[in-house]
Amino acid sequence: MNGSRFLRRIITGLAIAAFATGAVAMLPAEAMQRPATARQIHLDVGLANPVLLSDGPQRTHVKIGLTGFVREADAERTPVNVAIVLDKSGSMQGEKIAKAREAALMAVERLDKDDIFSFVTYDSRVRVVVPATRISDRTSIRRAINGIRASGNTALFAGVSKGAQEVRKFLDTNRVNRVILISDGLANVGLSSPSDLGQLGAALSKEGISVTTIGLGLDYNEDLMVELARRSDGNHGFAENATDLARLFNAEFGDVLSVVAQEVEIRIRCADGIRPIRVLGRDAEITGQEVISKLNQLYSEQEKFFILEVEVPPGNTGVSRKVATVDVTYANMATKTNDRLTGSLEISYTDSPDTVKDELDKEIRADVVEQEATEANKRAVELRDEGKVREAKQVLLDNADYLKENAQELQSDKLDDLSVENKEQARDIEEKSKWKLQRKNMRKGQYKSERQQSY
Amino acid sequence: MRPKLIVTFMLIVLAPMVLLLGFGYRIAQNEKKVVEQGFLNLLNDSLRDMDGSIAAFVQERERYLLEMQVPEAPETAALRDLVRKDRYIRQLFIMSPGGDRLHPPPGQPLSDAEEAFLERTDDIWTGKHRFFTTPDQPVPQDTYDTTSRSPLKRSQIKSDTASPNGWHIRYWQDGINLIFWRLEGTGNVIGLELDRIQFLSDLIGKLPDTQQLSKRTRTLFRLRNAAGEVVYQWGNYDPPDSAPANADLLLSPPLNAWQLEYFVPPQFADASQGGGTLLIFLAALGAVGLGVGWLAFYFYRESSREMREASQRVSFVNQVSHELKTPLTNIRMYAELLEAEVEEENTKAQHHISVVVSESRRLSRLIQNVLTFARSTEKRLTLNSSPGVIDEQIAEVIEQFRPALEEKHIEVCLHADAPAPVRFDRDLCGQILGNLIGNVEKYASGGGRLQINSLQKTKDGSNTTIIEILDRGPGIAAEEREKIFQPFYRISSKLSDGATGTGIGLAIARDLARRHGGDLVLLPETDGAAFRLTLETPPAQGEIT
């Protein structure tokens, strides 16, 4: 009996191996990938349309996907250097400040002795309540956090600056350096425009500090909060009620404690004749044929991607053409090395539209559609801000239709869900009383789509 | 006298107090100014310290920018990499000695960020603004020499400044734009645009936070940008919205469009105005007031005691005189009786008696004078008029004095021309005449003559009797013509040695004359003294008693 079981195991193992090999062989020929080893990030490049009609020029999309590797069970996670910046202005009185304190205390519990923690509160002035310190004396940290009371106006810019200063004290490329901002209100002392806060985010990102922003309640400035997160490559969360804070905090710390790579730099060099047009959903620098962008970090088992729209010149049927080379460098948190990944893309031409259709990469196309739908969703918010409610509604309805069409064609559940969401938003957008809430939700949803946020 | 005394008393006490109050107020005002100034100096010192910290931060940044390794011009990729990686700078340019742009590279596609940068630095590229490149070029306006913090001068450029550098400041839409430029050995100028927001965020990071300040220090620092907006603030004090700063300071270049303000709670500012001084001052005032008041009261008590003593003496004298009067009246009466009883043939006895009578009359007159004087001060004198003939009265008085006058060999000449019956106070008149004639007897006996004239006049329905008494004595000197009428005044006369007198005779005589509706004056005479007595003497109807 044992013998047959053993034999069965061998056969199963071989079958799996064969299947795996086959699977690898079935991968699109034009994509060269580094196989996913246990401790390297996974680079996935592809074209939405690997085959295009020979008479052009035509536009298509390049997708560059990066996935964080799985951490080994016994591997130590990347130590954390986090500053929590809490708005304690008058509007936070009551349940909000209580829940915020709770969330902060919970964060302290999830960190361990190798992590650095600091706590900054601000109203019209800033107080560094817990200067950057190792988590050795939880009691005194807890006491400091519990002693916070709400009052005053809001100096958001100064609060974040002080938080960043605390993180800077122990700034290390081998740590996850992060500021988590919790605010329920507008910034009314100091710099307060989204572009200013965005510029601050960009400057901090250069240092390797990301800012995650969590908006609490219905009165915070969501544009400001999203812009700060966007430019610093942090996350953005919306806690409608104070009770949501704990959940969001947990999710954020889930990300923070799962960073596997940092300082991820992506360079795309387009071949001659290929014209890079724009990057969807992310910031990138396009200079001539070169597209440069970066990510501050990658989380374990999460994919973040770039979509680059390119214009391809006409070509001869059957001929392949080089589209671009992709160069990714990053700091590997597990091996503590600087790793490099490369990829390249090619396109081939055909006369047959059917072939083009058949060869369409449905997944990439779905990702493209999602980004385009997000752009439309943003347009709807702009229109509504201008008071053009009916036009906004129409944009959302059109968007819902566009998404539904593509959902069916591409067999994408994700697009289907988005379609339903847009429809609901179209329905609610006319109600004045709901707009504050809806706008925050929309901004949150847009950011989540653009950045593939996990929560 | 009382109200006058009280007024004087109050004046004595109040006058110095008012003066003191005045001076004290002036001093307090001055001190207040001094303390205020001292306080302000303290605030300004704190501000200057803070400005120093901020300036140090800026200098640190300058040093970094000065020492930063910047790739050479055509290494575009490396330059772009630098911009991407360096967190302090937003963009950079490189300019050739001729003013041409070397980076961002001309004639090549640029990123959006680079295009925006060229827009921001438009003034440099269109030639409207030049950086210093050669010694003979004019120095641009808003360029600062970082070592001396003053606008560059041509002479400084020629000197040993190894690598000239400075700040180019521009006000773009979103605020102050700081570009640090430096001249390289190659003659190129590198311009490094400071990331304004990052700079501000770093500055805030370096400045104090409110937690680290002691809760007892209740002050507030506030940093404002060029537009007057609050950029950052720290401190445990929350001033009311519209309150102006207690002190402020413009920062050192290149941030000299920014301002630092200092707030303190009002009670600090007020305390600086020397409330303590006021208390001390009031205490001093009170002390002085008390002192002067006590002094004045003391003097008042002393003077009133003296007055009381004086009046006691006076009343004693009056009492004595009154006591003397009764026995004297008896002596006179019996002496006069005796005079009548003594036989005419007994001339010796007659003479002795006449002396007794005369002296006792003199004594009587004296006592009468004293009593009159006392009564006059107490205002108890009233006229007691009865019908009579003036001339008769005169004759009577002369008769009384006869022995004394004979003794002193004074001849009496009488021109009596007041025979009409009139109403007058006999005692009063008698007293006046007695005093006047007594004076002649005492002081003018050397002249040997007493002249008495009397006449009566009727004018406008009023009747006046005038009596003149003249002598040929030494006369009265000009300076003493009024003094002799003052009570207690006696001419110190060596001529009339041995003469006695109280000095109140003429005073009384005049007083009585005036009570009788008339007056007593001294006539100007070169030979002796001449007194004119006038009395109001209404005509008597009918009988002579």
Q: Rounded to 10 degrees, what is the CA torsion of B208, B214, B219, B223?
A: 10
* Mean pLDDT within A307-322: 92
Whether the CB-CB separation of B31 and B278 falls below 8 Å is answered with no
Comparing CB atoms, the residue among B109, B196, B211 nearest residue A129 is: B211
* Higher-confidence position of B197 and A31: B197
Q: How many CA atoms lie within 13 A of A94 on its CB side?
A: 7
Q: How far is A195 from chain B (nearest CA, A)?
A: 10
Whether the CB-CB separation of B252 and B55 falls below 8 Å is answered with yes
Note the pLDDT of residue A32: 44
**How many Å is the Cα radius of gyration of chain A?**
24
Cα A149 to chain centroid, rounded: 33
A190 contact residues in B (CB cutoff 8 A): 229-232
User: How many residue pairs bridge chain A and chain B with CB atoms within 8 Å of each other?
Assistant: 91
Closest CA in chain A for residue B105: A287
Whether the CB-CB separation of B469 and B531 falls below 8 Å is answered with yes
Residue A27 scores a pLDDT above 50:
no
A196 contact residues in B (CB cutoff 8 A): 174, 197
d(CA A93, CA B357): 122
Judged by CB atoms closer than 8 Å, whether chains meet at A128 and B84 is answered as no
Whether the CB-CB separation of A79 and A174 falls below 8 Å is answered with yes
B108 contact residues in A (CB cutoff 8 A): 288
Q: Which of A306, A309, A307, A305 is nearest to A274 (CA)?
A: A309
DSSP three-state, residue A253: helix
Distances from the Cα of B356 to the Cα of B19, B345, B364, B397, angstroms: 68, 18, 12, 17
Strands A303-312, A290-299: pairing is: unpaired
Cis peptide before A57 (omega within 30 of 0): yes
Judged by a CB distance cut-off of 8 A, whether residue A171 touches chain B is no
Inter-axis angle of helices A95-110 and A138-146, to 10 degrees?
A: 170
Judged by CB atoms closer than 8 Å, whether chains meet at A288 and B174 is answered as no
| Strands of the sheet with B462-471, listed across from one edge | B411-417, B449-459, B462-471, B530-536, B519-523
Residue B93 burial (CB < 10 Å; 0-12/13-18/19+)? Answer: buried
Note the pLDDT of residue B304: 85
**How many Å is the Cα radius of gyration of chain B?**
57
Long-range contacts of B22-28 (CB under 8 A, 24+ apart): B24/B281, B24/B284, B24/B285, B27/B281, B28/B274, B28/B277, B28/B278, B28/B281
Note the pLDDT of residue A143: 87
Distances from the Cα of B378 to the Cα of B112, B322, B381, angstroms: 119, 15, 8
DSSP category for residue B532: E
Note the pLDDT of residue B277: 65
Residue numbers in chain B where pLDDT is lower than 50: 133-134, 141, 144-161, 544-545
Residue A74 scores a pLDDT above 70:
no
Judged by CB atoms closer than 8 Å, whether chains meet at B201 and A160 is answered as yes
Note the pLDDT of residue B269: 62
Whether the CB-CB separation of B455 and B465 falls below 8 Å is answered with yes
Whether the CB-CB separation of B343 and B351 falls below 8 Å is answered with no
DSSP three-state, residue A249: helix
Q: Please name the residues in contact with A126: beta carbons below 8 A apart, sequence gap of 6 or more.
A: A120, A155, A158, A159, A161, A162, B204, B209, B210, B211, B234
Note the pLDDT of residue B186: 84
Backbone φ and ψ of A92, nearest 5° = -85, 0
Judged by a CB distance cut-off of 8 A, whether residue A179 touches chain B is no
Note the pLDDT of residue A292: 95
Cα B515 to chain centroid, rounded: 48
* Higher-confidence position of A418 and A24: A418
Residue A68 scores a pLDDT above 70:
yes
Note the pLDDT of residue B468: 93
Note the pLDDT of residue A117: 94
Backbone φ and ψ of A146, nearest 5° = -70, -20
Cα B302 to chain centroid, rounded: 29
B86 contact residues in A (CB cutoff 8 A): 206
d(CA A105, CA A84): 11
What's the start-to-end Cα distance of chain A, in Å?
50
A132 contact residues in B (CB cutoff 8 A): none
Distances from the Cα of B465 to the Cα of B118, B419, B423, B429, angstroms: 128, 10, 11, 11
Taking 3-state DSSP, the helix, strand and coil percentages for chain A, each rounded to the nearest 5, stand at: 40, 30, 30
User: Which of A89, A126, A130 to mutate against chain B (most B CBs within 10 Å)?
Assistant: A126
Residue with tokens 């019956």: B421
Q: Which of B395, B391, B375 is nearest to B383 (CA)?
A: B375
pLDDT digits (tens, 9 = 90+) for A140-172: 888 888 888 777 668 899 999 999 999 999 999
Whole-model pTM? 0.68
Judged by a CB distance cut-off of 8 A, whether residue A133 touches chain B is no
Note the pLDDT of residue A14: 64
Whether the CB-CB separation of B233 and B260 falls below 8 Å is answered with no
Residue B2 burial (CB < 10 Å; 0-12/13-18/19+)? Answer: exposed
d(CA A270, CA A273): 8
Comparing CB atoms, the residue among B109, B210, B230 nearest residue A127 is: B210
A165 contact residues in B (CB cutoff 8 A): 202, 204-206
Distances from the Cα of A175 to the Cα of A234, A331, B198, B478, B506, angstroms: 15, 11, 22, 123, 125
Number of Cβ within 10 Å of residue B257's Cβ equals 16
Structure tokens at A47: 């074209």
Q: Please name the residues in contact with A142: beta carbons below 8 A apart, sequence gap of 6 or more.
A: A105, A108
- The sign of the CA dihedral A401, A405, A406, A411 is positive
Strands B89-95, A285-287: pairing is: unpaired
d(CA A258, CA B544): 152
Q: Please name the residues in contact with B237: beta carbons below 8 A apart, sequence gap of 6 or more.
A: B218, B219, B220, B263, B264, B265
Q: How far is A202 from chain B (nearest CA, A)?
A: 9
Comparing CB atoms, the residue among B114, B209, B230 nearest residue A128 is: B209
pLDDT digits (tens, 9 = 90+) for A234-288: 999 999 988 899 899 999 999 999 999 999 999 999 999 999 999 999 999 999 9
Number of Cβ within 10 Å of residue B344's Cβ equals 6
* Minimum mean pLDDT range among A335-339, A362-366, A438-442, B288-292: B288-292
d(CA B207, CA B53): 8
Backbone φ and ψ of B446, nearest 5° = -65, -25
- The sign of the CA dihedral A329, A227, A387, A217 is positive
Task: Determine which helix (DSSP H) or strand (DSSP E) holds A129, and give its type and residue range.
Answer: strand A126-134
Q: How far is B134 from chain A (nearest CA, A)?
A: 34
d(CA A257, CA A298): 11
Query: What ipTM score was computed for the predicted complex, to two decimals?
Result: 0.81
Distances from the Cα of A231 to the Cα of A261, A282, B462, angstroms: 18, 9, 126
pLDDT digits (tens, 9 = 90+) for A361-410: 999 999 999 999 999 999 999 999 999 999 999 999 999 999 999 999 99
Q: Which of A63, A54, A55, A49 is nearest to A358 (CA)?
A: A49
Judged by CB atoms closer than 8 Å, whether chains meet at B112 and A286 is answered as yes
Comparing CB atoms, the residue among A161, A203, A285 nearest residue B113 is: A285
Note the pLDDT of residue B374: 73
